[in-house]
Chains A and B, each alone.
Chain A
Amino acid sequence: MLETAVAAALFVGVLAYSLFGGADFGSGFYDLTAGGSRRGAELRTLVDHSIGPVWEANHVWLVYVLVTWWTAFPESFASAMSTLILPLLLALLGIVLRGASFAFRKYAASLAQARLFGAVFATSSVVTPFFFGTVAGAIASGRVPAEGRGDLWTSWLNPTSAFGGVIAVGTCAFLAGCFLTADAARGGQERLAGQLRRRTIGVGLVTGGIVLAALVPLELDAPTLADGLETQAAPLVVASAVAGVATLVLLWRRWFGLARLTAVAAVAAVVSGWGVGQYPWLLVDEVTIADAAGAEATLQALLVAVGIAAVVVLPALAYLYRLTQTEAWSRSEH
């Protein structure tokens, strides 16, 4: 019971990171494909302004996940880290390059500098979710052993991981597209909003297609997860499909504000589908949540910390998000 509560708290972190962090990462996709410096300037400025105030806060969800994991389930953390060292290092590299170059670009002195930092920012934003996706795939397909180290390469170079990676990239871009489109529309940048709308619909169609296509290889490559998806997580799978389609329709009809919500719901359903689908395994086919748990006193203390976080951090976070949506904050910088 205690373990499950902590695992749930951990998973909330994973979910929040996929949604908020994901939307930040995804904006890199549009930045990357915005075109030459003249054509892309407007979009890049929008990206800057949209994620500038929030990306650091969104990023802390990752820290939260790591810390909760190693505190609550230390052995499984150690084995996952040593098995998946390569994709994790690559993701880490992406995070470092992206955060630093984003900050540098904002204050770059010349176009050449801004271009260099921008290219690094955008590229690393696109590839980082891919590696996180492969990590999820590795765990979900039972390739991380309970103790010690699994295979350094095949653990994350396999069908489930590949799909996990691509889906992660796609969902991030889809989320970001919905947010950016809404931001552009709210700021009165009609042309930009129209352009983003088209691209987001395209990304949504492709990603949706891949998610559906993934169900087949999953059946073979990750039977435990596939089984969970067909039984306990089936409602979530349906929900994600419905919300995804609804988002596309809303985008089409230019109801950008609402489309943000359904997009979040769709992605949240995909991610929770994975979590619920593999319950009660922590590392699929290897160790359950109950068996992986660390000391009881620590779990209790951790829940206290999570409780404090809920009381202290969430209101502050809500305040930040609300501020960024107000009229005063939509004004230009000075």
Chain B
Amino acid sequence: MALSLGWHIVLACFGVAFPAIIFTMHLIGLRRGSEHALTLAQRWAKVSAVLFAIGAVSGTVLSFEMGLLWPGLMGTFGDVLGLPFAFEGLAFFLEAIFLGIYLYGWGRMPPKQHLLMVVPMAITGVVGTYCVIAVNAWMNVPTGFRVVDGEVTDIEPWAVLFNPAAFWQFLHMWLAAYMVAGFAIAAVYAVGMLRGRRDARHRLGFTVAMAFASVSAVIQPFVGHLLGGRLAEWQPAKLAAFELATETESPSPLRLGGVLIDGEVRYALDIPYLGSLIARNSFTEPVIGLDEFPADTHPPVNITHLSFQVMVAIGTLLALVAVVYWVMRWRGRELTDHRWFLRFMATGGVLSIVAMEAGWIATEVGRQPWIVQDVMRTPEAAGDNPGLWWLLGATSVVYTAMTIGAVVVLRSMARRWRAGEADLPSPYAPDPAGSEDTGTTSMGTVR
């Protein structure tokens, strides 16, 4: 589950954020009549076709896995959390439809109308994200049902869809998607510039992607902070694990780094007061320590703490870089003229993906041993399928193959674009100039 989710979610980020980025580029192209922008928009659309296809299949894997791996969860709570999933499916439907229209519409529709086809995709990406995240938020803050004598009753599906944690978690994830897509695209052009391709097209591609990445990077820490603010009330044990608070200290320090070994915190840097200040918005209110919770409800502390801090560290770093870049640019200094900056930006995509995955690990592992906080433990939800290890092995092989395939194909597309090919016909036959028909080649022309 974690493997396919971790993989799906990277592609999902492109599914959420790429349409809006393509839209912007396409709009610039039409407004300013810029050939460069139109070319970029069209190429990005082709790239997104590949990414969306594997995104969609990996999403299908997830919806199977919900049943295959978590029969206990779906059997008991399927009707509780089905509604968000139903709306999610609806959103994907629209997304897939307009994706088909947009991708195949190049040169086949009036330009303005064609551009408008991206808008539904950007909107459904948002709705879809909200709905999935609502399910995850519900696992953190279960509402909308009661358990009477072991039976789930009084189900209010709408309360699940609009549960109290959903909004902030959604916002956080949504921004994360824009960061991942934005920094990843910017990284591609940064690498291009490092290799000496500093033409107008590369600069334009970089700037548009960087603009999206920067706005979300700067807002993200604030949203993350608000999100964390809820934890003291809803999931105090998770908060304790995030902060590596083994015991309640008032005021609590902010603990940077550090691991828990045999109940002792080692290698940590404590900054007094800051823990209380950040987690509780107060100089005195403590972070409740782990020792106040029964030992069998402790999450795996080290994984939770470290992944949380990795996320926050990367988030802070990227936000700073974004601010510095635009401030310098505003003062007339273009940082992309400096190799060190390009080198850093080349890693930005990977960094934001790491931050996102770390964020998921932190919320998911931090919720353990619960799958539904305080209601259902993870082993009760899991199936008892014998060959799970085989399944995991097979999944890894397939996903690795798919990743390799995607990389090979995307790189070859880029190579051919650089070589000046525009159309990228697929070579179905050894000899493109088909011998049987006169004039038209069998693959150059489709019909």
Contact = CB atoms under 8 A, between A and B. Distances in A.
Contacts of B406: 100, 104
Interface string B391-412: 1001000100010011011001
B155 A53 contact: no
Contact of A45 (B57, B120, B435, B446): B446
Contacts of B446: 45-46, 48-49, 187, 331-333
Interface stretch (B93-101, B182-190, B238-246, B294-302): B93-101
A71 B107 CA distance: 42
Contacts of B153: 295
Most chain-A CB neighbours within 10 Å: which of B409, B423, B425, B428? B428
Given A45-B442, A75-B75, A81-B68, A110 B85 contact: no
A85 B385 contact: yes
Contacts of A210: none
B148 interface: no
A330 B104 CA distance: 11
A2 interface: no
Contacts of B104: 52-53, 323-324, 329
Contacts of B87: 305
Interface string B280-306: 000000000000000000000000000
B53 A44 contact: no
B427 A72 contact: no
Contact residues of B: prevailing secondary structure: helix
B89 interface: yes
B385 to A, nearest CB: 6
Given A60-B96, A110-B427, A320-B100, A294 B60 contact: no
Contact of B429 (A41, A56, A332): A41
Interface in B104-147: 104-109, 120
Given A78-B71, A309-B90, A316-B98, A111 B54 contact: no
B57 A99 contact: yes
Interface residues of A, number: 88
Interface string A100-135: 111111111111011001100000000000000000
A57 B100 contact: yes
Given A60-B89, A93-B398, A302-B82, A104 B409 contact: yes
B90 A308 contact: yes
A333 B107 CA distance: 9
B236 interface: no
A75 B71 CA distance: 8
B34 interface: no
Interface stretch (A62-70, A174-182, A223-231): A62-70
Contacts of B374: none
Contacts, number: 275
Nearest to A334: B107
Contacts of A62: 60
Interface in A6-49: 37-38, 40-42, 44-46, 48-49
A328 B101 CA distance: 13
B443 A45 contact: yes
A124 to B, nearest CB: 11
Residue picked from A48, A59, A117, most chain B C-beta under 10 Å: A59
A132 to B, nearest CB: 12
**Most A Cβ at <10 Å: residue of B68, B93, B120, B394:** B93
A71 B79 contact: yes
Nearest to A147: B75
Given A42-B434, A70-B67, A75-B78, 20 more contacts: A41-B428, A46-B446, A52-B100, A56-B52, A71-B78, A74-B76, A78-B72, A78-B74, A85-B68, A89-B391, A95-B60, A103-B49, A103-B54, A114-B426, A298-B155, A305-B86, A312-B90, A313-B93, A331-B108, A332-B444
Interface of A: 37-38, 40-42, 44-46, 48-49, 52-54, 56-57, 59-60, 62-64, 66-68, 70-72, 74-75, 77-82, 85, 88-89, 92-93, 95-97, 99-111, 113-114, 117-118, 187-189, 294-295, 297-299, 301-302, 305-306, 308-309, 312-313, 316-317, 319-320, 323-324, 328-334
- 10 tightest A-B CB contacts, nearest first: A71-B82, A74-B78, A294-B79, A78-B75, A109-B412, A103-B53, A187-B447, A41-B429, A81-B67, A53-B100
